[in-house]
Structure 1
Amino acid sequence: MGIIVKDIGHFNIFDAIFNHFADNRLIILAQKTYMKTIVEVKSKKELAAFIDFPHDLYKNDPVYVPELFIAQRDLLTTHPFHKHSSLQCFLLYDGDKITGRVAAILNNRHNEFNGTKDGFFGFFDVINDAESAQILIDTAVKWLKEKDNTITNLVGPVNLTTNDSAGLLIKGFEYPPLILTTYNAPYYEGLLENTGLKKQVDLISWRWNKTSYDDRSVRISDKLEERLNTRGVIIRKMNMKKFKEESAKFKLVYNSAWDKNMGFVPLTDDEFEFIAKDLKMIADPDFVLVAEKEGKFIGLAVALPDVNQIQKKIPRGRLLPTGIFKLLFGMKKIKGIRIFMLGVIEGYRHMGIEAVLYANIIKNYKARDFEYAEAGWTLEHNHPVNNAIKAIKGDPYKIHRIYEKAI
C-alpha cells in the first residue's frame, strides 16, 4: 500500500517521497505536483510579464495583433484613471509557467455616475482550461470585495473603462482586430460562461469594403446634408491648427452625447487630455468631423487609421530598436480606418446628423482609395445609430460581449 501526499507551493515542483513498510518491503513513491498559483503584479518585471503573456499565448495565431508595450504600460500605471480609481493585475502560474492573467478594476467614478455597485475585470487572457479561468475570476472578485465590500456585481471584460477597449469577441474571429479593439480565442466564451457570467449587452462592429460601398445611400445622405444646412447645421472637418480650442468644444459633446450609454462615465479633464494627446499623433484630418450650429458643436465623428496593420509587424509590441521606424514609415501605407467615436447631443438626434457624419467619413475613405472601414462599437439596442449605419450598407461583421454576474 502506498501513501501519496500532494503539497502546494509558489513556482516550485515538489517531490514528495515517503517511506512505507509493508510485508517487510520498502516502497518509495514519488509524485510531482504542479500547483496553480496566483501572483499579484507588483514589480516592473511582473508587469512586463503581464503585458507580454498574450504574445506567447497567441504566437501561432495569424490574426493576433500585439498591443504596443509602452501604451499598455501607461494604461496600467500612469493613466489619469488611477487618480480616482484603482486596479490590481494578477498572473496565474502553473508551476513556473504563466497560464493566465486578469486585472481587477474598481472604477469609483463609474459607480458614482451610474449609481451602481459594479466591480470590473479586464485584461483577461488564459489557456483553454476551465479551472484556470475560474481561478482568475474568483481572484478578481476576492480583490474587489476586499477593496470595497459593497460591490455586488462583476462586469467585464473591460480594459480599464468603456472609453478604452472592451468586450469579449464572440463573432468575427477570422478578422484581425482594428485599433483599440479586443481579440481573443473562441474558447473564451465557454470559459467565462462556465464561471457563472451572463450576457449584459452585445457590442456591434460594422464593416464596409470597396465591393459593399453603396453610392446610392451616400447620395441620399447628400440631400439630407443639404436639408440640415438649411436648418443651420454644418458638417465640417475639425480644424487641427486650432486643436486646443476645438478640442475643448469636442470634450463637451463627448461627455454629453454618451451620457445614457451603458457604463459610460464622463472623462475628467486629465483623462480627456491624455486620450487627445495620443489620438492627435495618429489622427487624420479627413476623418475627424464635427456637426456645428451657430458655432456650437452638437455632434462629432472620429475615425482613426488602423495602425494595427503596422503593429502586427512589430514583435511583442516593442518600439525599440526598430519598431518605431516601422510605425513612422508605415502610416502612409495604411488602407483601413475605424470609426470609433460618433455621437450627437440630446435635442439634435433623429435629424439625420448621425447618418450624414457616417456618410461623409465613408466618402472620404472612398476618395482615399482605402480598402475597408469599420464602425464600432455600437450598443445592440442603440437603434438610431444602428439604423443610420444600416442605411449606408454597413455589415455587422463582429460582435463583442460584456458579461456580468452578482457577487
Structure 2
Amino acid sequence: MIEVVKVQDKKELKRFIDFPHALYEHDANYVPELYLAQKDLLDKKNHPFFKHSEADFFLAYQDSKVVGRVAAIKNNNYLNFTGEKTGKFGFFDVVENYAVAEALLNTVTDWQKERGLAKLAGPENYSNNETCGTLIEGFDSSPTIMMPYNKPYYKEYLEKYGFEKDMDLLSYIIYTKDVPDKLIRLSSKILERLNGKGITIRKINLSKFSEEIDKIIQIYNSAWEKNWGFVPMTDEEFKHAAKDMKQIVDPDFVLIAEHEGRPIGFSLSIPDMNVPLKKLKKGRLLPFGLFKLLYYKRKINRVRVVTLGLVEGYRKLGIDAYFYMKAFEEAKRKGMLYGEASWILENNELMNKAIENINGEVYKKHRLFKKAI
C-alpha cells in the first residue's frame, strides 16, 4: 500500500531532503545538494518565496519506507504576471515504480484543483528562476551546479500520467581548447566598438556587493520580462539568492555592461562547485565535509555560465558574444578544461547561435512539462 503524507515537522522535512541520497546511492553521477541550502529553500517561515506564495511538501511511503517526494506549488507572482491558472510541481523524486509516481502526482493535482487552478506544469522548484526541468538527454555525466539530475524513467512516468512537452532547455558544452584564438582576439575588437558607442563592460566589484546587486536586479527583471515562462523575482528573493552566491562567485566570471553609466546587461558564470559537493556525504558540511569541500574546491576544472541577459535595445550589438567569449577566455586562462552554458530555451535563436559560434555543442536536455487538470 502506498501512502502519501504532507510534511508537517522537522523530522519529515529531513526525510524529504535526504530521500534522493538513498535513491541515487549507487549512481556515480549523482551530486548531493548541500543540506543547509535545501533546508533554507524549504523554510516556510523565512524564505522570501513564502511571503507571496505557498507550497506544501509530500512524502510517499510504502511498507514504512520513503519511496518518493514532491512539492505542490502555487506561485502567486507567476499567476498575476501571466494571467494563467497554472500550478507547479517540483522537488519530484521517485523510486522505479509508476504507482508511486501516480500517487504523488494525484496528490499535487488535487491540491491545485482545491485552489481553483486548471493546469499543472513543471518540474520547477518554485519557478524557472530556480532549479527546473527533467533531464531527458545526457545521463552519462554529473550535473553542474544548480542543474537538476534525475533517473531516466522520470520522462516516461510523467508522459504516462498525461504530461506533454512544454519547453526544452538546452545545455551546451564548450571545451576551452576548442575556443578559437581568433574569437578571443575578436573580443577585444567587439569591446572597442562597444566603447565607441558609450558601452563599457567591467567585472563586478565585490567590495560594493549590495550596490552591484541593486543594478543587476534592474537588468534581470527587464531583460527576461518577455521570455517564455518568466516570472519576476522580488527584490528580497533576488538578494536572498545573491547572498548565498557571494560565497562562491569569482569576480573574473561576473561581468556588468553599462551604457553611459546605466546598467544594461550582465553575465554570471560560476566555477562548478558540484565538483567538491560530489564528495560530501548527504550534503553535510559537518563533521568533515567542510575540509573535503575546501580540498576538492582546488580541483574544479569546469565553469557554468548560469545566466546572461541584456535589456531590450541592446541585444544585437555583440555584447552577448563578448560575455560568452570572456567567460571561456577566463576559464582557459585558469586552466579549466571546459564550460557549460545552461540552460538556454530551445527557441532562443540569438543565444543558441552565439554559443554555436564558439563551438558549443548541446550535450544535455531538460524538459518542462504541462498538463490540464
TM-score (norm 2): 0.97
User: Is the counterpart of residue 270 in structure 1 residue 239 in structure 2?
Assistant: no
1:292 is aligned, of 240, 249, 258, to: 258
2:26 is aligned, of 32, 56, 60, to: 60
1:140 is aligned, of 88, 92, 108, to: 108
What residue in structure 2 maps to residue 108 of structure 1? Answer: 76
C-alpha offsets along residues 102-125 of structure 1, whole Å, 9 cap, x if unaligned? Answer: 100110000101111110000001
User: Is the counterpart of residue 403 in structure 1 residue 369 in structure 2?
Assistant: yes
Following superposition, the deviation at residue 255 of structure 1 comes to: 1.1
2:65 is aligned, of 97, 102, 110, to: 97
Contact 1:290 1:301 in 2 (8 A): yes
Q: SS at 1:333's partner residue?
A: coil
1:122 is aligned, of 90, 100, 103, to: 90
User: Is the counterpart of residue 199 in structure 1 residue 165 in structure 2?
Assistant: yes
What residue in structure 1 maps to residue 176 of structure 2? Answer: 210
What residue in structure 2 maps to residue 358 of structure 1? Answer: 324
1:41 is aligned, of 1, 4, 7, to: 7
Q: SS at 1:244's partner residue?
A: helix
Partner Cα separation in structure 2 for residue 200 and residue 222 of structure 1: 39
Contact 2:176 2:328 in 1 (8 A): no
User: Is the counterpart of residue 281 in structure 1 residue 247 in structure 2?
Assistant: yes
What residue in structure 2 maps to residue 306 of structure 1? Answer: 272
Name which structure has the greater RCO, CA cutoff 8 Å, separation 6+: 2
User: Is the counterpart of residue 159 in structure 1 residue 125 in structure 2?
Assistant: yes
Partner Cα separation in structure 1 for residue 259 and residue 107 of structure 2: 50
C-alpha offsets along residues 190-220 of structure 1, whole Å, 9 cap, x if unaligned? Answer: 0110000000000011111234322233333
Partner Cα separation in structure 1 for residue 38 and residue 305 of structure 2: 21
Partner Cα separation in structure 1 for residue 321 and residue 106 of structure 2: 43
Contact 2:174 2:358 in 1 (8 A): no
Structure 1 residues 205-214 or 356-365, which shifts more? 205-214
Partner Cα separation in structure 1 for residue 243 and residue 98 of structure 2: 40
Contact 2:177 2:332 in 1 (8 A): no
User: Is the counterpart of residue 240 in structure 1 residue 211 in structure 2?
Assistant: no
Q: Is there any run of 5+ residues in structure 1 with no aligned partner, and where?
A: 1-34
What residue in structure 1 maps to residue 352 of structure 2? Answer: 386
Q: SS at 1:181's partner residue?
A: coil
Letter in 1 for 2:308: L
Pairing of 1:254-265 with structure 2 (within 5 A): 254-265=220-231
Contact 1:218 1:392 in 2 (8 A): no
Partner Cα separation in structure 2 for residue 82 and residue 377 of structure 1: 25
C-alpha offsets along residues 73-109 of structure 1, whole Å, 9 cap, x if unaligned? Answer: 1101132001110111111111111111110011000
Partner Cα separation in structure 1 for residue 298 and residue 127 of structure 2: 30
Partner Cα separation in structure 2 for residue 397 and residue 204 of structure 1: 8
1:228 is aligned, of 194, 199, 204, to: 194
What residue in structure 1 maps to residue 137 of structure 2? Answer: 171
What residue in structure 1 maps to residue 99 of structure 2? Answer: 131
Aligned-residue Cα RMSD (Å) equals 1.1
Letter in 1 for 2:33: E
Q: Is there any run of 5+ residues in structure 2 with no aligned partner, and where?
A: none
Q: SS at 1:282's partner residue?
A: coil
C-alpha offsets along residues 362-402 of structure 1, whole Å, 9 cap, x if unaligned? Answer: 11111111122111101000111111111111111111000
Contact 2:71 2:90 in 1 (8 A): yes
Contact 1:66 1:316 in 2 (8 A): yes
C-alpha offsets along residues 302-325 of structure 1, whole Å, 9 cap, x if unaligned? Answer: 001111101110000111111122
C-alpha offsets along residues 152-202 of structure 1, whole Å, 9 cap, x if unaligned? Answer: 110011112211100000011111011101000111110110000000000
Structure of greater Rg: 1
Following superposition, the deviation at residue 406 of structure 1 comes to: 0.6
C-alpha offsets along residues 253-309 of structure 1, whole Å, 9 cap, x if unaligned? Answer: 011111112221211121111011001111001000011111111110000111110
Following superposition, the deviation at residue 246 of structure 1 comes to: 1.6
Partner Cα separation in structure 2 for residue 157 and residue 344 of structure 1: 26
Partner Cα separation in structure 2 for residue 107 and residue 60 of structure 1: 35
2:293 is aligned, of 315, 323, 327, to: 327
The percentage of counterpart residues that share the same residue type is: 49
Following superposition, the deviation at residue 233 of structure 1 comes to: 1.2
Q: SS at 1:304's partner residue?
A: strand
2:17 is aligned, of 48, 51, 58, to: 51
Pairing of 1:3-42 with structure 2 (within 5 A): 35-42=1-8
